[in-house]
A = this chain, B = another copy of it.
Amino acid sequence: MASRSRSNPNRRITIRDVAAAAGVTPMTVSNVLNRRAGEVGRETQDRVIEVCRQLGYKPHASARRLRTDRRMAVGLVIVDPSPNYLSDPFIAALFAGLTDCLGPQGYSLVLHGSHPDGVGAIPLLQQIETDALCAVLSGSLRQRRAFMRRLAEARQPLVLLQEEHSELVGGLAGDDVCTVVQDDRGGGVAIAQHLLTGSCQHIVMLVPEIEWSAMVRREAGLRAVLSRARPRRTLRILPCGDEGYVATQAALAAYVARHGLPDTVVGGNDQMAIAAMKFFQARGLVVPRDIRVTGFNGFEVWRYSSPELTTVFSPAYDMGRNAGQAILARLQNGRFPFREQVLSVTLQANGSS
């Protein structure tokens, strides 16, 4: 059969060729390819797919979709000024969870990166090719709300990741939105409680220059505990540019020149925390004796530093998987199974604090 397609490469293989070669009707081939699989036995399915492969049959997907109106694709919109957003382990773990859930169901993921000013949403708007959207937003609440309005124009089921339903969705969109979020505020509370078991007078929290609502919630949790602590503690928030190694150390150098040495560094994520640890170690300070350091997220790199980093483990993979399950349920039943899902985080104290 393969030789037949090779001997006449210019003739387009049709569904009838596939049907004849597989010994089934064209309708059966169509059922298999359009995933009306319940109507076709497993062996026949396998045979049809194998014949499609051997003949190099390319179903005219665009035409097929005009009939089925199912694109078998989910869009993942990530609003981040850095083109390197995928190298953030949080985004990568979210993505892995989504892929693991949706891939086996035959869905592809279509990635759209966008700057917070929303310019990147224009191709998305023009070329909507997905059955549902997931989004991870950054920027101020005003920017995120504006972006939400543009997403709503796509009129697709939408899962917002790392946003609180009440803050961002309320009033702006209909029922076809749900949120999956980790308990970042609880993580901030856990870090503060842990720090208060030891000495901490002068605390600096490292955050990216751009606003992420998750970072705001981590800070809120930290403040909620520290504001009730006596004696009073100093807590300052230090923006660290693109949150990379070099930018973080530059921000710390400027901070120390102005405010003196802190005794505690709360990294908004593990990468900034490790950059801070190396910064102070290079200046002869001993962690945790002279300076305590904590991170956030717990993806592998917490083990890379010496001493290992106290961190809060993020369920990012589970968030991605749960978002995928919510989408599958929505596409099957016409509604999301929940409005908001909040996943727990866990602090692990290690040698750095």
Is B72 a contact of A99 with CB atoms below 8 Å?
no
Stretch at the interface among A229-237, A260-268, A298-306, A335-343: A298-306
Known contacts A73-B110, A300-B271; decide if A52 and B86 are in contact (CB<8 Å).
no
Q: Which residues of B contact A301 (CB under 8 A)?
A: 301, 304
C-alpha spacing A300/B283, complex, angstroms: 20
Is A300 a contact of B108 with CB atoms below 8 Å?
no
Q: Which residues of B contact A95 (CB under 8 A)?
A: 86
C-alpha spacing A23/B298, complex, angstroms: 55
Question: Does A256 count as interface, using CB distance less than 8 angstroms?
Answer: no
Is B103 a contact of A113 with CB atoms below 8 Å?
yes
C-alpha spacing A120/B100, complex, angstroms: 12
Is A99 a contact of B83 with CB atoms below 8 Å?
yes
Known contacts A125-B53, A271-B300, A278-B303; decide if A83 and B111 are in contact (CB<8 Å).
no
Is B300 a contact of A278 with CB atoms below 8 Å?
no
Question: Does A16 count as interface, using CB distance less than 8 angstroms?
Answer: no
Interface string of A119-130 (1 = CB under 8 A from B): 010111111110
Stretch at the interface among A58-66, A178-186, A200-208, A220-228: A58-66
C-alpha spacing A49/B125, complex, angstroms: 9
Number of A residues near B (Cβ < 8 Å) is 64
Q: Which residues of B contact A210 (CB under 8 A)?
A: none
Is B96 a contact of A84 with CB atoms below 8 Å?
yes
Question: Does A245 count as interface, using CB distance less than 8 angstroms?
Answer: yes
Is A108 a contact of B123 with CB atoms below 8 Å?
yes
Of B111, B128, B244, which is within 8 A of A111 by CB?
Answer: B111
| A56 nearest in chain B by CB position | B153
C-alpha spacing A58/B300, complex, angstroms: 43
Q: Would you list which residues of chain A between 49 and 88 have a CB under 8 Å from chain B? A: 49, 52-53, 56, 58-59, 61-63, 65-66, 72-73, 83-87
Known contacts A271-B300, A274-B304, A300-B245; decide if A84 and B92 are in contact (CB<8 Å).
yes
Question: Does A350 count as interface, using CB distance less than 8 angstroms?
Answer: no
Interface string of A280-307 (1 = CB under 8 A from B): 0100000000000000000111011110
A residues touching B (Cβ–Cβ < 8 Å)? 33, 49, 52-53, 56, 58-59, 61-63, 65-66, 72-73, 83-87, 89, 91-93, 95-97, 99-100, 103, 106, 108-113, 120, 122-129, 150, 153-155, 244-245, 271, 274-275, 278, 281, 299-301, 303-306, 317
Can you list 14 A-B contacts with CB-CB less than 8 angstroms, sorted by A residue number?
A49-B125, A53-B125, A53-B153, A56-B153, A58-B128, A59-B126, A62-B62, A73-B129, A83-B100, A84-B92, A84-B96, A106-B127, A108-B124, A274-B304
The 9 closest A-B pairs by CB, nearest first: A87-B92, A304-B304, A86-B92, A83-B96, A83-B100, A84-B96, A106-B123, A62-B65, A62-B62
